[in-house]
Structure 1
Amino acid sequence: MSNYETLSDISLTSLLKDGDDSAFTEIYRRYSKKLFIMSYNYCKNKETAEELVQEVFVGLWDKRDLLNVQKLQPYLATAIRFSVFKAIYKERRRQEIINQNITIDHAHFEEKLHAKFLQELINESVEQLPEKCNLVYRYSREEGLNNREISEKMKISEKTVEAHLTKALKSVRRYLNDNGIFILLASSALEKIIK
């Protein structure tokens, strides 16, 4: 057993940021099988699942100096879901294009893909909110009601509406940050600029 096997994810992440390839190897050893299972469960193709896991780990190594992750497992799980979602979406679009014989603006569809993925994560975080907080958020963001309208509808004060909305937004931001979504989307945007 190597010394790295006893290290916490936080310690491994810190070492990885410094370019420690043994830390990277240990992270790969810990999580590659789990990520493969997640990937395979989504895409149902062994080769694709393996490629996506490799893609996530190559991305992790390439962007190691940008890492600001407290919880490595949720970050990697989000990264693999994002990669799978992107691969499935691209394959579907490719099939549609072949079937319809049309040209496509790839940048536009990349943006739609990112927006859909981000919305899925936001929905997950909102589902975890307390009931009233969840309801205030949905009235505000999904139905477009203002604080006064929400206050009347829920029979609570506007200050309480503001408090619930503030709590909800902080919770959503924290959830996205904990899942590394800001790094994933920023690095994806950076790739577009560099290309």
Structure 2
Amino acid sequence: MFNYGTYTDEQLTALLKEGDHAAYTEIYRRYWKKLLLIAWNHSKDQLAAKDIVHDVFISLWERYTDVEINNLSAFLATSVKFTVYKYYQKEQRRNDLALQNYEYETIVNDEDKLDAIFLQEYVNGIVEKMPEKCRLVFGYSRNLGMKNSEIATKIQITEKGVEANLTRALRIIRGELKNHGWILIIAIHIHRLFK
């Protein structure tokens, strides 16, 4: 029997990608306390924190073939933070809607709107971390609706340079969203983000 406790995060991640349940169990053993602390620090609710960590690990196992993990610790910490955010957004939405006695159709519609808003905020966060030219080109194109030729003139690069930076920006965004399970939501809301 292998001693998974001696494996590096990178080795465990590679084994997880192959569906190795023992590697998954070791990841859980290694990180659940740290993730619980992160969840509690953000939620100040012990039961919610446990549910959040539970959801993160279930999601990890369900999506192990789809996610690209470069840094396991950072990936899990980020997953917890976004799960905390979504958890409290859902709780707040439920409370608000219960007080206002909305019909079911309205609840579904509000959930879609909230997902679109959260997705936009998440994309904005990804864009903020991009290299400067990439960020500028994306902002001018998507937020201000400028044409490639206008962007090229504005920041003094070629139109090909604009296209390359846009392609790079979209690749970064798609990669980050895929890593965090947003691909289905993108399909629903992409027209709202990139009109």
TM-score bin (small chain): 0.7 to 0.9
Aligned to 1:98: 98
- Residue 102 of structure 1: SS of its match in structure 2? coil
The 2-side partners of 1:5 and 1:49 are apart by 25
The 1-side partners of 2:134 and 2:17 are apart by 37
The 1-side partners of 2:185 and 2:80 are apart by 14
Structure 1 gaps of 5+ residues are 190-195
The Cα of 1:77 is off from its aligned counterpart by 2.9
C-alpha distance 173-77 of structure 1, shift in aligned 2 (>3 A)? same
Counterpart amino acid of residue 56 in structure 1: V
The 2-side partners of 1:174 and 1:59 are apart by 17
C-alpha distance 14-113 of structure 1, shift in aligned 2 (>3 A)? farther
The 2-side partners of 1:188 and 1:57 are apart by 20
> Does residue 1:41 correspond to 2:41, yes or no?
yes
The 2-side partners of 1:155 and 1:74 are apart by 36
The 1-side partners of 2:160 and 2:183 are apart by 34
Structure 2 gaps of 5+ residues are 187-195
Residues 28 and 57, structure 2, Cα contact 8 Å, conserved in 1: yes
Aligned to 2:182: 185
- Residue 145 of structure 2: SS of its match in structure 1? coil
> Does residue 1:146 correspond to 2:147, yes or no?
yes
> Does residue 1:111 correspond to 2:112, yes or no?
yes
Aligned to 1:80: 80
Residues 122 and 172, structure 1, Cα contact 8 Å, conserved in 2: yes
Pairing of 1:4-43 with structure 2 (within 5 A): 4-43=4-43
Pairing of 1:120-135 with structure 2 (within 5 A): 120-135=121-136
Higher RCO (C-alpha 8 Å, min separation 6)? 1
**Identity of counterpart residues, as a percentage?**
44
> Does residue 1:70 correspond to 2:54, yes or no?
no
Counterpart amino acid of residue 5 in structure 1: G
- Residue 182 of structure 2: SS of its match in structure 1? helix
Counterpart amino acid of residue 21 in structure 2: D
The Cα of 1:138 is off from its aligned counterpart by 0.4
User: How many residues get paired?
Assistant: 183
- Residue 166 of structure 1: SS of its match in structure 2? helix
Instruction: Output the TM-score relative to the length of structure 1.
Output: 0.77
Instruction: Output the TM-score relative to the length of structure 2.
Output: 0.77
CA deviations on 1:46-68 (whole Å, 9 max, x unpaired) are: 1101111112212323444x344
CA deviations on 1:115-145 (whole Å, 9 max, x unpaired) are: 3333233222222222232111101011111
Counterpart amino acid of residue 165 in structure 1: L
Counterpart amino acid of residue 158 in structure 1: E
* RMSD after superposition: 2.7
